[in-house]
Structure 1
C-alpha cells in the first residue's frame, strides 16, 4: 500500500467547505485536461501521483482530486461504486419503505388492536418523526467509525425489532417496536448523501445523488402498493416478517459487497491493503474526539441560508406532494369507495411512476444542464445555476396537488382515476425538487455532506410528522377546494419565492461565509 500523500484536494473546489467553513468561490477557465485544477495545484502533485491518476482515470480533470491509493473510493472501478450505491440507496429506501409499509392495512390494524383508523395512522407518523431525529445520533458515529459498521448495526437491530412488531398484540407494544425499527433503519436515509459525495466526482454527482433520493422517495408509495396485496391475501403481520427477511438479505449482501466509503485524506496514515481498509477494518477511522455537541452539529445549518432554504423549501414540497398523498389516500379513498387493502395498494402506482419520471429531470438532466453551461461559458458555473431546474418541480407539484384535490372533490362516490393523475404529476415535481435542492446543498458543503444530509432529513421528517395531525382538520374545515388553495399559497411563499431569493443571493452569501 502506497503511503498516504500530503493533502492535495483542499483547494481544488472553490465552493467546497473545510471544517464547516465555506471557502470563497471562484470560477476557473476551462483548460484542456485541467478544467478544475489550478496550475500550482497540479505542480504540487508528485510525478508518481499524477501517473497513478492518469492510469486510473485517464485525466487529471478530477474534482475533487483523489489520493494515490486504491482504498480511496474515488479511485474505485465504476462498477464497484455503482454496486455500493445501489446497496446504500436500497437501505435508504427501506427507511421510508418501512414507515409506509402498513398504510394499506390501517383498517386491518385498527380492527385487530381495537383502535380508531386515525390512531392506527399514528404508527406511521411516529416513524416519520424518528427517521428525522435518529440520524443526529448516527452521523457522528459514522464519521468516527465509518459508514459500514453503522449500516451493519442498523440492519441487525432493524431485523430484530421487525420481528418484535410481528409479535406485538397491543397498540403500545407495536408502537414501541415500530419506534425501535425507525431508530435503527434511519442512517442510510440521511448519510447516503455523504456516500455519494465520497465516491462520485462533482461533474456526475447529481445523477448518482438522484439514485439515492429517488429510492428514498419511492419507498413511500411502493411499500403500501406491495404490502396491500399481502395484507389482503394473508395477514398484515406478514408485513413485519417480510421486512425482517429483507433486512436479513440486506445484511448478507452488505457484508460481502458493501465497502467502507469513509476515507480521510488529511492527518491520518492509511495502513494495510485496500481490501482490509474497505471490508475488515473495525477500528476508529477519524481520531477526532467525540464530543456531545457533535450530536447536534448538523443543526448549525439553520444559520446557513444555502442549506436551510433548500431544506425548508424541499420539506414543504415533500409534505404535500408525498406525505399528504400517501397518508391521506387510505383515509380519503377507503371510506369513499370501500376499498380493501389490495385495492388501496394499487392507488400508489401513480406516485411510483411520477417519481421515476421526475428523476430523469432531477438527476440526469441536472448534470447535463451544469456540464452544458460549463462548455458554453468556459467557466465552472456556480451551484446556483442548478436551481433553475427546481422551478419546473415546484410548478408540477402545485399543479399535481390541485388536480388531486379538486378531482377528488368532483368524483363524489363514482371512482375514476383522475385524482391519481394529479398524484403522479405532484410526485414527479417532488422528485425534481428533491434531487436538485439536495445536490445544490451538498455542492455548497461537499466536505460536510453527511451533516447536510442529516440536516435536510431532520427538517423534512419533522415537518412531515406534523402534517398528518392537521390534514384531516383542514379537509373538514375548508374542504378539498379550499385546501388546494392553502397548499398552493404555502408552496409559493415557503418554497418558490425563497428559492428565487437563494438563486439571486446565494453566491454572495457563500462568498461572505454567511451562506
Structure 2
C-alpha cells in the first residue's frame, strides 16, 4: 500500500502484477511506505547525491577514454604503420559503441540490478585498458578500444533513470545537469590531460592511467555504492560489501527480445524524438566537430605538439562548465518562477532557454571557423569561439535532455538511452566527412554549413515542438 501515486510515478505493485521489465529502471516522484534501508527513497541525502555523482563520473569516463587517445594519433600512426585518419577510427568506433551498447545493458540492469552491472563495467574496462597498454598492432588496439567502450557504457544509457529516481522534481534539471556536464566534459578533458601524458611519459601510460581510474572506481563502488533499483517483492538482506557483490535477479521476469529494442519505442513520441534528434545534430557540430578537428587543424597550421594541442581544449572545458552553471539551475528556477506567476508550468517551458543555447552555438562556431581560417599565427580568438559554442552546447544538452525525460518520466531510462543512441550514432558519422568538408569549403565555410544544418534540423523543429507541446499541456490543464 502506497501513500500516494502521481500519474508519472515509478512503482512496483505486487508480485502478481508483473510490470514490464523496463519499468524497473524507470522512476518518478512518489513516496514509499517501505521503511527498508534498501529502498533508495529512504537513503540519506548524501548517499543519493553520492550515487548520482558516481554515475555522472562513470559516464564521463566513457567519453574521456574515447577522446583521451586523440593526442596519440600521430604516435599510433607511426607505431602501427597507418594513416592519422585511420588512427582516428579508434575514437570513432568507440563513439558508436557508447551509443549502441546501452541497448544491451539496460535490459540486463532491469533483471540483475544496476550495481552488479556497474562493478562488471569498471572491472572489464580496467582489464581492456591494461590490454591496450600492451598492444603491438592496430587490430589488437581496435579490439581493446571497442571492448572498453562496450563495457564502460551502462551509465551513459541508464544515468537518467538513476537521477530521476533519486532527486526531487524541482531539482531534476540541476542533477541531470551534473550527469550531462560530466558526460560532455569528458570529451575535451580526455585529450587535454592525455596531451601532457603523451609528451612526458609516453603513449602506453594513457591506458595505464585509464586502468588505475577504473580500479579506483571499483573501490569507491564497493565502499559507498548500492543498488538503485528497489523491488519490495524481491528484497533480500545483504551482509556487508561481499553481500552486495553477489549477483541476483531483482525481478521474476525473464529477458525477451523486445526488452532490447524497447528504447526505440520512443520514436512514437514526437517530443522525445525531436528533442533527441535536435540534441544529436547540435552536439555533433557544437562539440565533436571542434574536438576531432582540433589536433588536425592546430597541428598542421601551427605545428603544435600533443601537449600544445591538449591545451586548446581548456577553452571547451571552460565553456561547458559555465554553460552548466546557467542551464541546470536557471532552468529549474525558470519553471518555479512560471509556476508561482501563473499557477502552472510544463516541460515545454524549459525550451525558452534553449534559444540562448542555439544563439551562442551559432556565434561560437562562426567565430571559431572564420578566425581560425584567417589566422597566420596562433591567437586566442578561435579558442574564444570554441568556448562560446561549448557554452551553448552544454546548455542545450541539459535543457533538451531534461525536456525529453520529463515528457516521458515513467520511462526515463529508456529516454536516456534513446537520446544517447541518437547523439552517438550521428556523432560517429561526423569524423568520416569532417576532413573532406573542411578541405572543400575551408574552416569558415564549414562553420557556415554546420550552422545552417543546426538551424534547419534542430532550431526550427524545437520551435515547432515547443509551440505544439505548450498548447497541448495548457489544454489538458484547462
Give yes or no for contact 2:234–2:251 (8 Å, CA) kept in 1.
Answer: no
Cα distance in 1 for partners of 2:149, 2:51 equals: 22
Contact 1:102 1:227 in 2 (8 A): yes
CA apart distance, 1:111: 1.2
Q: Does 1:491 align with 2:439?
A: no
Structure 2 contact 238–244 (Cα < 8 Å) conserved: no
Shift of 1:289: 2.4
Aligned to 2:281: 316
Residue 504 (str. 1) matches residue 467 (str. 2): yes
**Contact in 2 for aligned 1:12/1:63 (Cα 8 Å):** no
- Please tell me whether residue 327 in structure 1 is matched to residue 292 in structure 2: yes
Q: 1:338 to 1:67 in 2, by over 3 A?
A: farther
Name the structure 1 match of 2:165: 198
Cα separation, 1, equivalents of 2:145 and 2:118: 18
- Equivalent of 1:74 in 41, 52, 60: 41
Is the Cα–Cα contact under 8 Å of residues 306 and 510 in structure 1 kept in the other structure?
no
Structure 2 equivalent of residue 437 of structure 1 = 400
Q: How does 1:60-71 map to 2 (within 5 A)?
A: 63-69=29-35, 70-71=37-38
The two structures have a TM-score, normalised by structure 1, of 0.86
* CA RMSD after TM alignment: 2.5
Cα distance in 2 for partners of 1:321, 1:168 equals: 33
Q: Deviations over 1:249-292 (max 9, x none)?
A: 10011111111111246xx3535479899946632112222101
* Corresponding residue for residue 424 of structure 1: 387
In the alignment, the residues of structure 2 paired with residue 322 and residue 271 of structure 1 have an alpha-carbon distance, to the nearest angstrom, of 44
> Aligned partners of 1:93 and 1:297: how far apart in 2?
25
Residue of structure 2 in register with 1:163 after alignment? 130
Choose the corresponding residue for 1:250, options 217, 229, 254. 217
| 1:306-348 deviation per Cα after TM superposition (whole angstroms, max 9, x unaligned) | 1111111001111011100111000111011111111111010
Alignment partner of 1:356 is 2:327 = no
Deviations 1:19-69 (A, max 9, x none): 6999xxxxxxxxxxxxxxxxxxxxxxxxxxxxxxxxxxxxxxx93323432
1:117-266 paired onto structure 2 within 5 Å: 117-264=84-231
Task: Identify if the C-alpha distance between structure 1 residues 474 and 67 changes in structure 2 by more than 3 Å, giving closer, same or farther.
Answer: farther
CA distance change for structure 1 residues 276 and 225 in 2, over 3 Å: closer, same or farther? closer
Tell me the CA shift for residue 455 of structure 1.
0.7
8 Å contact kept, 2:6–2:30: no
Q: How much does 1:511 deviate?
A: 10
Give the equivalent residue in structure 1 for 2:16: none
Partners in 1 of 2:3 and 2:243 — Cα distance? 22
Aligned to 1:397: 361
Q: How does 1:407-486 map to 2 (within 5 A)?
A: 407-412=371-376, 414-486=377-449
Change (3 A) 1:269 1:249: closer
After TM superposition, give the deviation of residue 129 of structure 1 in Å.
0.6
Q: Does the aligned pair in 1 maintain the 2:364–2:386 contact within 8 Å?
A: yes
Structure 1 residues 289 and 19: CA distance shift in structure 2, 3 A? closer
Question: 284, 287, 303: which is aligned to 2:249?
Answer: 284
Q: Supply the distance in 1 between the matched residues of 2:180 and 2:222 (Cα, whole angstroms).
A: 23
Residue of structure 2 in register with 1:46 after alignment: none
Indicate the SS of the match to 1:288: coil
Q: Distance in 2 between matches of 1:20 and 1:497?
A: 36
Q: 1:383 and 2:378 equivalent?
A: no
Residues 1:144 and 1:282: Cα distance change in structure 2 (over 3 Å) = same
- 2:125–2:147 contact (8 Å) kept in structure 1: yes
Higher share of residues assigned helix: 2
Separation in structure 2 between the aligned mates of residue 287 and residue 322 of structure 1, nearest angstrom = 42
Contact kept, 8 Å, 2:222 with 2:241, in 1: the verdict is no
Aligned counterparts of 2:142 and 2:245: Cα–Cα separation in 1: 36
Q: Distance in 2 between matches of 1:20 and 1:400?
A: 43
**Structure 1 residue 509, shift from structure 2 partner:** 6.6
Q: Give the match's secondary structure for 2:250.
A: coil
CA deviation profile, 1:432-489 (whole Å, cap 9, x unmatched): 0011111111112222111111111111000000000001111111222221221111
> In 2, distance between residues paired with 1:106 and 1:320?
21
Partner Cα distance (1:149, 1:443) in 2: 27
Q: Go from structure 1 to structure 2 and tell me whether the alpha carbon gap of 1:9 and 1:108 turns closer, same or farther (over 3 Å shift).
A: farther
> Does the CA-based 8 Å contact 2:282-2:393 persist in structure 1?
yes
CA displacement 1:126-162 (0-9 Å, x = unmatched): 1001111111000001111111011100011100011
Q: 1:276 to 1:66 in 2, by over 3 A?
A: farther
Residues 1:11 and 2:6 are matched in the alignment: yes
Is the Cα contact below 8 Å between 2:2 and 2:31 reproduced in 1? no
Q: For 1:31-110, what aligned pairs fall within 5 Å after superposition?
A: 63-69=29-35, 70-110=37-77
Separation in 2, partners of 1:510, 1:10: 20
